[in-house]
Amino acid sequence: MRRQLDIALPAGYRREDALAFHGRDAEGLAERIEGGTIRKGVLLDGVPVLLQIVLDGDRARCMVDAAADSIPPQAEAALVNMLGLRIDPASFEAAVRDDPLFGPVVRRMPGLRVIQAATVFEALTWAIIGQQINLPFAIALRRSFIQQAGRPHPNGLWCYPEALDVARLDVEQLTSRKFSRAKADTLLRLARLVADGALSLDPPADGGLAATAARLLAIKGIGPWTVNYAMLRGYGDPDCSLHGDVAVRSAIGRLLGTDTRPGIAEAEAFLQAYRPQRTMAAAYLWASLNQLSG
């Protein structure tokens, strides 16, 4: 079944951010960029779904193609996530207009958005896969993960898996594909908790994420960085503190004009000044590394 819908884009929408985020895997296994079009495969309620986004001026012209007789209800939310429309950067930009550190960065790159994964489970598993390894290796592991647990859509793209699909794997299937034992154990532990109904990843009705973060942090193998990254890329939480992120800490050091990367405690204290908008602070810190390197 197919459904088309248009999503209005805010003035100054930076389409290059969405294209870059979803085009990280040059092999295009589950996501493919063709000009201004993003195509992504994802499993939603067990249904292989193709999400297509055509970035056309002030609108995103979207198409949902589900390999079933109905469209999973999560499809529209996934599109909004992929476009990075959960967090409006305007309030952060206004707040730091006169900030000596962030002000110049924001003026050079207004409208930066936090592009999200299609689902919370995708954000969480990507955080686990990518932690403490370089990006090319992380992307290769992610590709293997999709091939092992995902399913192809009839159009040819592979679909990012859901918890139930991952829960069927065993540790050896992952470790045989270069996953460390610790990563494999954590991925399967998370997937089985979600698949068994012991852990819900649904956004809380009241919008509060503190209890969700605490439940995730209680899972063996999931630490504060993974939880904060998942809050940012999965839930669109506007106040995630990424003080444990190496790139964020490097960017803080460079903005401060020092030759050393601040420690985790120092980075946490630095980011405290930007509450309750630390997510946008992290986004601009990541982006500033590219700016400062020319």
Whole-number Å distance between alpha carbons of 221 and 219: 6
Residue 79 has pLDDT above 90, yes or no: yes
Q: Which of 113-117, 156-160, 226-230, 289-293 has the lowest mean pLDDT?
A: 289-293
Report the share of the chain in percent with pLDDT over 70: 98
Whole-number Å distance between alpha carbons of 124 and 234: 7
The two structure tokens encoding residue 223: 């630490």
Whole-number Å distance between alpha carbons of 32 and 79: 15
Residue 293 has pLDDT above 60, yes or no: no
Whole-number Å distance between alpha carbons of 176 and 180: 9
The two structure tokens encoding residue 10: 């805010």
Whole-number Å distance between alpha carbons of 11 and 284: 19
Dump pLDDT digits (tens) for 45-66.
Answer: 999 999 999 999 899 999 999 9
The pLDDT of residue 61 is 97
Three-class secondary structure of residue 56 per DSSP: strand
32 strand-pairing partners? 39
Distances (CA, A) of 102 to 19, 105, 127, 186, 281: 24, 5, 26, 36, 8
Q: Which helix (H) or strand (E) holds 251?
A: helix 246-256
Residue the block writes with tokens 């904060």: 228
This prediction has a pTM of: 0.93
Whole-number Å distance between alpha carbons of 221 and 183: 8
Domains of the chain: 2-86 (3.30.310.20), 246-292 (no CATH)
Q: Stretch 139-166: mean pLDDT, rounded?
A: 96
Residue 292 has pLDDT above 60, yes or no: no
The pLDDT of residue 291 is 52
Whole-number Å distance between alpha carbons of 245 and 36: 30
The pLDDT of residue 203 is 84
Dump pLDDT digits (tens) for 245-284.
Answer: 999 999 999 999 987 899 999 999 999 999 999 999 999 9
The two structure tokens encoding residue 134: 């370089």
The bridge status of strand 2-8 relative to strand 59-66 is antiparallel
The pLDDT of residue 182 is 97
CA 65 to chain centre: 22
What is residue 262's DSSP assignment?
P
Sign, CA dihedral 71-72-76-81, equals negative
Mean pLDDT of the chain: 94
Dump pLDDT digits (tens) for 202-241.
Answer: 988 777 889 999 999 999 999 999 999 999 999 999 999 9
The two structure tokens encoding residue 252: 């803080």
Residue the block writes with tokens 């794997």: 169
Q: Which helix (H) or strand (E) holds 5?
A: strand 2-8
Asked if 44 and 78 count as a contact pair (C-beta separation under 8 A), the reply is yes
Dump pLDDT digits (tens) for 5-14.
Answer: 999 999 999 9
